[in-house]
Chain A
Amino acid sequence: MQIVKRVIDWVDVRLGVRELVEENTTGYLVPRNVNAWYSLGTVLLTLFAIQFLTGILLLMYYIPDTEKAFTSVERIMNDVPYGWLFRYLHAIGSNMIVVALLLHMFSVLFMGSYKKPRELTWLSGFTIFNLGLVLCLTGYLLPWSQLSFWATTVATDAAGAVPVIGAKLVELLRGSPSVGAQTLGRFFALHVMALPLVLLGLIGFHLFCVRRIGISTAPFGKDARPARTGEKFEHELHPNGIPFFPNYTMEEGAIVCFFLAALVAVAFFAPQLFIPPDALVPADPYNTPEHIKPEWYFLWAYQTLKIFPSKLLGLGVQVAMMTFLALLPFIDRSEERRPAKRPLFVTCYVLGILLIIAISIWGHYS
């Protein structure tokens, strides 16, 4: 232990790490009324780390070639020791990330934490959410199964609804008129290199915003505070708060363990939830399977396109909704954050969530 202390002393003299660690752990006070929902950021960081790790491992055996991709995934599942485990963790982990992203976003909305001065935190978080969905979409094609092939065909086809440039846009996404080797090449490059790099940058910026501005107080009880509207930067301090470490870290650890337990439980006992039968058949560009459906988190978008008489209208509604959500902090500028004092917002919030769930269920059974 003496040698460890000497190494830390050596680094501390040069970089002042003890002070840095103290500032960000025991000396970093978070609001006393912080709740479990605040842990979702850490849950997401953990899940993203698992995706990076398992993704790198899968890359060692996966072959991005239309002739070999499916066989290489079969090999990972059947021949490579514990390959099935890492693939399940990766595939199920991506679904878990979407769940955590949605919960994180809904909790931030409900608690009004997106309001001034946290507009940039919200915008970067919302972009991360969308990027997460694009990562799911691009990764979905890689096994080159019937499911991945046709789900990608349907998803990329939606871009065709854009006026004037629609057809060109579809071709640009696919790299060819229909999904093929070119599509696999560009989706692979996006999934394993371009998008993770952007994601890392965005996560870094998001964390910087959270740390720089300070954690928002939950808008419940006597500690509730309105959103700040001052024109000068001010770090939100919590002098009577609890230390980030060990007090709050322990609470976060428990929530992270809960999510990890759920991930492992699904991977071991119900992986078929996310690997339906069509995912076990190699892609056949001349044979569309019946009732092909996108993943659960795209069902609302899929059904919206079908509800409206024209695809363009459906796409327009989706774009309008996403733009509204992205710009919400600039639209909702009131200081009030307590849900009980925001009846209109809470009503829209609950109805909006119920509507999305209903449309998704409709999409699943349609």
Chain B
Amino acid sequence: MDQQSVPSPQRRNFLLLMLAGVGSALGAMAAWPLLKFLSPSGSGGGSTQVKIAKEKIPLGGAYFFDYRGRPAVLLEPKPGEYVALTAVCTHLGCIVKWHKDQQKFICPCHGGQFSAEGDVLKGPPPAPLESYQVSLDGDQVVVG
């Protein structure tokens, strides 16, 4: 076909379309490594199973530790009985505090209260604290 027979605006639109296509392809090629580079690896980088020596957990008290990259807490409400919960408040993500004398968690940010089992007692938290599976391995408590 004679080049002159193609109207100029049509050629311009075609070239723009091609340029946009190539640009998008190159952009995607650059964006993929960037996205992967910025994405956190795994589930926060923490181990899926954590072992804690029994002696670290005070009777009636709490032991805070890192579980799958997030703060968690281990309680021993009665001798030999262990409860593992997330320490992240379900309201706005603050870390709850264990009040031994009242045997409950109180969130320092907005006053949300949770029982030793993680149930909501009072305040704005919309859901209970997530609990984790606990088992015993000799002198150690295994969470997860």
Residues of A within 8 A of B (CB): 57, 60, 79-83, 85-86
Q: Is B37 a contact of A79 with CB atoms below 8 Å?
A: no
Q: Is B41 a contact of A85 with CB atoms below 8 Å?
A: no
CA distance A82 to B39 in the complex (A): 11
Q: Is A57 a contact of B41 with CB atoms below 8 Å?
A: no
CA distance A57 to B38 in the complex (A): 8
Which chain A residue has the least Cβ–Cβ distance from B32? A82
Chain B residues positioned under 8 Å from A82 (CB to CB):
33-34, 36-37
CA distance A80 to B39 in the complex (A): 9
Chain B residues positioned under 8 Å from A86 (CB to CB):
33, 37
CA distance A179 to B72 in the complex (A): 42
Chain A residues positioned under 8 Å from B34 (CB to CB):
57, 82
In terms of DSSP, what is the predominant structure of the interface of chain B? helix
Q: A79-B41, A81-B41 are in contact. List 18 more A-B contacts (CB 8 A).
A: A57-B34, A57-B37, A57-B38, A60-B38, A80-B37, A80-B41, A81-B33, A81-B36, A81-B37, A81-B39, A82-B33, A82-B34, A82-B36, A82-B37, A83-B37, A85-B33, A86-B33, A86-B37
CA distance A73 to B143 in the complex (A): 32
Residues of B within 8 A of A (CB): 33-34, 36-39, 41
B34, B37, B38, B41: residue with the most chain A Cβ atoms closer than 10 Å: B37
Can you list 20 pairs linking A and B with CB atoms under 8 Å apart?
A57-B34, A57-B37, A57-B38, A60-B38, A79-B41, A80-B37, A80-B41, A81-B33, A81-B36, A81-B37, A81-B39, A81-B41, A82-B33, A82-B34, A82-B36, A82-B37, A83-B37, A85-B33, A86-B33, A86-B37
CA distance A81 to B39 in the complex (A): 8
B77 → A minimal CB distance (Å): 40
Chain A residues positioned under 8 Å from B41 (CB to CB):
79-81
CA distance A129 to B33 in the complex (A): 31
B26 → A minimal CB distance (Å): 10
Which chain B residue has the least Cβ–Cβ distance from A83? B37
Chain A residues positioned under 8 Å from B36 (CB to CB):
81-82
CA distance A57 to B37 in the complex (A): 8
Chain A residues positioned under 8 Å from B39 (CB to CB):
81
A51 → B minimal CB distance (Å): 15
B141 → A minimal CB distance (Å): 30
CA distance A155 to B115 in the complex (A): 63
Which chain A residue has the least Cβ–Cβ distance from B36? A81
CA distance A352 to B36 in the complex (A): 47
Nearest first, the 3 A-B pairs at minimum CB distance are A82-B33, A81-B36, A82-B37
Chain A residues positioned under 8 Å from B37 (CB to CB):
57, 80-83, 86
CA distance A79 to B42 in the complex (A): 11
A79, A80, A81, A85: residue with the most chain B Cβ atoms closer than 10 Å: A81
Chain A residues positioned under 8 Å from B33 (CB to CB):
81-82, 85-86
B29 → A minimal CB distance (Å): 11
B40 → A minimal CB distance (Å): 10
CA distance A79 to B37 in the complex (A): 10
CA distance A253 to B52 in the complex (A): 60
Which chain B residue has the least Cβ–Cβ distance from A57? B37
A259 → B minimal CB distance (Å): 15
Chain B residues positioned under 8 Å from A85 (CB to CB):
33
CA distance A86 to B33 in the complex (A): 9
B33, B36, B39, B41: residue with the most chain A Cβ atoms closer than 10 Å: B33
Which chain B residue has the least Cβ–Cβ distance from A89? B33
CA distance A136 to B32 in the complex (A): 28
Chain B residues positioned under 8 Å from A83 (CB to CB):
37
B120 → A minimal CB distance (Å): 37
B111 → A minimal CB distance (Å): 36
B73 → A minimal CB distance (Å): 29
CA distance A83 to B36 in the complex (A): 9
Which chain B residue has the least Cβ–Cβ distance from A79? B41
A79, A82, A85, A86: residue with the most chain B Cβ atoms closer than 10 Å: A82
Which chain A residue has the least Cβ–Cβ distance from B45? A79
B84 → A minimal CB distance (Å): 28
CA distance A57 to B34 in the complex (A): 9
Which chain B residue has the least Cβ–Cβ distance from A76? B37
A75 → B minimal CB distance (Å): 10
CA distance A329 to B131 in the complex (A): 75
CA distance A18 to B60 in the complex (A): 72
A1 → B minimal CB distance (Å): 12
B91 → A minimal CB distance (Å): 29
CA distance A86 to B37 in the complex (A): 9
